[in-house]
Amino acid sequence: MQALTNRAKAVDRKPMTLVEKLYVWNIFKGMMITLRHLFKKKATISYPEQKRPFSPVFRGLHILNRDEEGRERCTACGLCALACPAEAITMEAAERLPGEENKYREEKYAAKYEINMLRCIFCGLCEEACPKDAVYLSETFAPSNYQRKGFIYGKDDLLIPNPKDNPGEYWKAVGNRKANKEQGN
């Protein structure tokens, strides 16, 4: 039969000679490759001690933002839940009572806000849909867990630390990308 391409090789089924049967040369060739890699630059890093920098466009774990006075920005408008293709976001809204003005920015706020990280595909559409700059995706990823219930993130898990009480933690959570953007404004 004629080969379709000229790269085809006929299989050589000749019995091996004694030198070939000893494999010494072939083992030596293989060991040379292994030895050469010992002195090459490693492609991996030892992860928990060393961490790679995230790309500035990385879309990781969600954060619910606060404004400069520490009030929650989210007003439970539901646009993130509407935009979410995986239907991972749910929320329940409540009305702000007199005296809660220092906690919530607007008259309406999200009393409950939940993202199911098992459903989330980290597409970032919620961040794009948000009219209040309240939800954005940070440069971390969801830590692994042994149980499914650990992946259902409520408001306690998502809310950024208060910049008034805890500015250090706040700026750490804000991350590079967001901080650069805010300084640029």
Summarize the annotated binding site as residue ranges: 74, 77, 80, 84, 120, 123, 126, 130
Q: Is 77 in the site for another protein (CB under 8 A)?
A: yes
Strand (E) or helix (H) holding 45: none
Phi, psi of 140 (to 5 degrees): -135, 170
Choose one: 30-38, 50-58, 73-81, 164-172; the region binding another protein (CB under 8 A): 73-81
Q: What angle do CA 174, 180, 185 make, to 5 degrees?
A: 110
Please identify, using beta-carbon distances, which residue of 117 and 160 lies nearer to another protein. 117
For position 149 contacting another protein by CB under 8 A, the verdict is: yes
Stretch that binds another protein, among 49-57, 101-109, 163-171, 175-183 (CB under 8 A): 101-109
Which among 71, 53, 70 is positioned nearest to 140, based on CA atoms? 53
* Stretch of 24-32, 39-47, 64-72, 148-156 lying at the interface with another protein (CB under 8 A): 148-156
DSSP-assigned beta bridge partners for residue 91: 113
CB 74 within 8 A of CB 135: yes
Q: Is the Cβ–Cβ distance between 151 and 142 less than 8 Å?
A: yes
Among 12, 49, 68, 107, binds another protein (CB under 8 A): 107
At closest approach, how far in Å is the CB of 67 from another protein? 14
**158 lies in the binding site for another protein (CB under 8 A):** no
Torsion (CA) 151, 88, 66, 94 in degrees, nearest 10:
-110
Instruction: Kindly state the tokens that stand for 136.
Output: 């954005």
Residue 89 CA, distance from chain mean position: 17
Candidate residues 54, 60, 86, 114; the one interacting with another protein per rule CB under 8 A: 114
**β-strands 108-116, 152-153: how paired?**
antiparallel
Q: Which of 61, 63, 64, 76 binds another protein (CB under 8 A)?
A: 76
79 binds another protein (CB under 8 A): yes
Interface ranges with another protein (CB under 8 A): 75-79, 81-82, 87, 90-95, 97, 100, 106-108, 111-112, 114, 131-132, 148-149, 152, 154-155
